[in-house]
Every structure is written in C-alpha cells, then in structure tokens.
Amino acid sequence: MSRLAKPDQNTLDQCEAALSQAQATMGYLPNDVLSLCHWPELLPSLSGLVQTILQSGQVDPTLKRLIGVISSHTQGCTYCTAHAGYGANQLGVEAEKIAAVFEFETSPLFSAAERAALRVAWHGALQPSAVTDDDIAALTTHFSQQEIVEIVAVLSLYGFLNRWNSTLNTELEVPPAAFAQSLAALTKKAHG
C-alpha cells in the first residue's frame, strides 16, 4: 500500500468480516483489500462481485485466472498479474502454462477454446474497441452466451482491479511475489 497509509483500527474493525474472508480464501491478507477498507461500503460490494465472477458460473476458474494474467499484464499491473498467476497455479495450472500465456496462439499448451477467450482478453485489455466481431464469433464456437458474458465480466473486473492497484501502487505480498519471481526465472530459462 505504497500510496495509502494502512487504515486505522476503527476502519479495520468495520471491515473485519471481509478481511477474514479474504485471508481465509487466499491464505494471506491481500494489500488491495486493506486499501479498499478506506471505503468500508465499497469492500463488500466489490468482494461480492469478485466472488461471483471468479468463483461461480460455467467457465473454468483456471481460464478465468489466465484471462486475469493476460489482461493485467497488458494493462501493466504487476500486482494483478502476479495475483492472477499465483491464483491460477493454486487452482492447478502448471507454471509452464502460466509462463507461456502470451504464446497462447501458437503454444500446444492451449486449446482452441482457451485461445479464443485469451484473444478477447488481450484485445479487450488493449482497448475495448480492439475486440472484433471475428473475436466474438470465435468465442461462440466454444462458449455459450452466459460463458461469453462471464469471460467479459472477468476482463472487466480485472480492468477495475488493474486501475485500483496500479494507481495506488499496491505492494505485492510474499506468496504471489515469490511465484512471479519463479515464473520470470522459468520464462528466462525457456527463452534462454
């Protein structure tokens, strides 16, 4: 939380339920959740949105995290890139696949359905108008209308989180930071 001071104890007490849930879900207390405590009414609203988008629906949760990696990296948010990559790994995605996520078009690690979703994530993170009718048509061959809405919801959620964490220069916690370092070493080794 480099650009904001830690909330005072009274504010933290108001956010106790959300803080406990975040820590239980992630295994550590995320600094972006602490920064959200400065507006206690915002935290449960966003928490509900995060849970709905990332933890429910029909799209595989691991694909949702890979969408987060693509969109966050494209937006330049190291905090969210590390969190999404770490989250994908915690859900069982191999580090090699996460490291190769920007090679999704050619890597044999990705299915045609994943390619279509990651293409929309990448184009949508560049700018919303970069998503073409062809990109959406490619999605429709693999995903239902609800699943397409879920994919766009993940992209949109990370758009908010990318701006929040990049603007506030949120400090990365040890678990996702360590995973990001291991990915960087893996990528460097693979590309020699």
The per-residue pLDDT of the chain, averaged, comes to: 94
Alpha carbon distance 129, 124 (integer Å) = 7
pTM: 0.94
Q: What pLDDT, in 10s, does the model give residues 21-39?
A: 999 988 999 999 999 999 9
Q: Which residue has the higher pLDDT, 131 or 127?
A: 131
Is residue 70 within 8 Å of 84, Cβ to Cβ? no
**135 pLDDT more than 80:** yes
Please report the pLDDT score of residue 164 as a whole number.
97
Query: 121-130, 143-152, 160-169: lowest mean pLDDT where?
Result: 121-130
Q: What pLDDT, in 10s, does the model give residues 6-24?
A: 999 999 999 999 999 999 9
Please report the pLDDT score of residue 96 as a whole number.
96
Mean pLDDT on 62-67: 98
Please report the pLDDT score of residue 187 as a whole number.
79
DSSP assigned state of 104: T
Give the fold, CATH level 3, of 60-190. Answer: AhpD-like (1.20.1290)
DSSP assigned state of 132: -
Q: Which of 33, 30, 65, 35 is nearest to 157 (CA)?
A: 65
Alpha carbon distance 91, 87 (integer Å) = 6
Tell me the domain boundaries of the chain. 60-190
**1 pLDDT more than 70:** no
